[in-house]
Amino acid sequence: MATPAPESSRRLLFAALLTAPLAALLFHLRIPNLTPAMDAASASEIEFDMPGVIRVYKDGRVERFDGTETVPPSPSGDPAANGVVSKDVVLDPAAGISARLYLHPGVEPGKKLPVVLFFHGGAFLVHTSASTLYHKYAASLAAAPWLAAHGDASRIVLAGDSAGANMAHNAAIRLRKEGIEGFGNKVSGVILLHPYFWGKDPIGGEPTDAGYRGSFHRTWEFVTAGTLGLDHPSANPAASPEEWRQLGAGRVLVTTAEQCWFVERARAYAEGIKKCGWDGEVEFHETKGEGHVFFLPKPDCDNAVKELAVVTNFIRRC
């Protein structure tokens, strides 16, 4: 599936995370369909290629091979998701900022539930808030009239998987620094599912192979337009403890899997945040014998059910 986009649009992927108003971080960002004029030779030149996932040409065209399947919302309740009600909202048409909202069907009148703001993953490059993979996971979100009727603004949970977990972490950092009108500067909890953190040098049992590490280096360089190094705190929280301790949350849950690409970083996060001076509580859950975000393609397997139970129990305590 090919979509044209301006050369500068790649900067939106991370500029939104680091420089946009914090409220914009809570939703999916779509690249606008604009194509700058370029000659025929440039049009065929590839600027960035992640095989099987995405290819970006120098003329701004983008081909996505993963994360393109979507499912419509279920405003009357989704039978396949225990009757969960969902709908889409566009928050900023110009910037392409949108969200999918979920509401549990069995909410008692007057009862307030924690509000979970979920950042989807996809290497910062693919998937949307309407992706089939993420609709199945069905994060419980609420906003607009739902937020007023059912959401407890004192119980906000930031969550995400993979690249989305990275965004949830960075949003919590910015929340402590800047705050949001009506929400203050602290959330009840942060959930980092198999978080996408990396660094220039290997830690623990990470592979040292230059080719393997180079693929992550090139991806990070591309999504940040070369403006942030791999040891910038946005990629490697442990590189800046003074920034890390500003995490705006009362408690954090970190999950990972034994065969996850980022397992060493998740372990280091859970240990390091205890030592950096942060004044909250951290929980850690590691699944043996599974790979990165295994719970998305295998939501009904025993290990996925166990991980979901860990997540839901954490939310209940927030």
Decide if 78 is inside a domain.
yes
Please name the helix (run of DSSP H) or strand (run of DSSP E) that holds residue 18, with its range, or none.
helix 9-18
d(CA 101, CA 98): 10
CATH code, domain carrying 171? 3.40.50.1820
CA dihedral 6, 226, 264, 240 (to 10 degrees): -120
| Geometric angle at alpha carbon 263, from 306 and 232, rounded to 5° | 130
Residues 6+ apart with CB under 8 A from 309: none
133-186 confidence digits (pLDDT tens):
444 444 333 333 455 566 676 788 999 999 899 989 988 888 888 776 766 666
Decide if 32 is inside a domain.
no
Query: Which range is most confident: 103-117, 120-134, 162-176?
Result: 162-176
- The pLDDT of residue 284 is 98
Pairing outcome for strands 54-57 and 46-50: antiparallel
Decide if 4 is inside a domain.
no
- Per-residue pLDDT at 25 exceeds 70: no
Decide if 64 is inside a domain.
no
- The pLDDT of residue 169 is 93
69-87 confidence digits (pLDDT tens):
777 777 776 555 567 778 7
* pLDDT interval class at 16 (50, 70, 90): very low
Average pLDDT, the chain: 74
44-57 confidence digits (pLDDT tens):
787 767 666 677 77
Decide if 52 is inside a domain.
no
Tokens of 29: 């960002």
Domain region containing 183: 70-317
- The pLDDT of residue 194 is 96
Range 296-299, long-range pairs (CB < 8 A, 24+ positions): 296/133, 296/134, 296/136, 296/137, 296/161, 297/133, 299/136, 299/137
- Per-residue pLDDT at 30 exceeds 70: no
Residues in the chain, total:
318
CA dihedral 58, 61, 64, 70 (to 10 degrees): 150
- Per-residue pLDDT at 266 exceeds 70: yes
d(CA 173, CA 47): 32
Decide if 290 is inside a domain.
yes
- Per-residue pLDDT at 107 exceeds 80: no
- The pLDDT of residue 303 is 97
Pairing outcome for strands 151-161 and 187-193: parallel
Tally of domains within the chain: 1
Tell which wins on pLDDT, 9 or 119.
119
Asked whether the beta carbons of 198 and 223 are under 8 A apart, the reply is no
If one counts every other C-beta atom within 10 angstroms of the C-beta of residue 158, the result is 29
Decide if 180 is inside a domain.
yes
- The pLDDT of residue 183 is 62
Decide if 263 is inside a domain.
yes
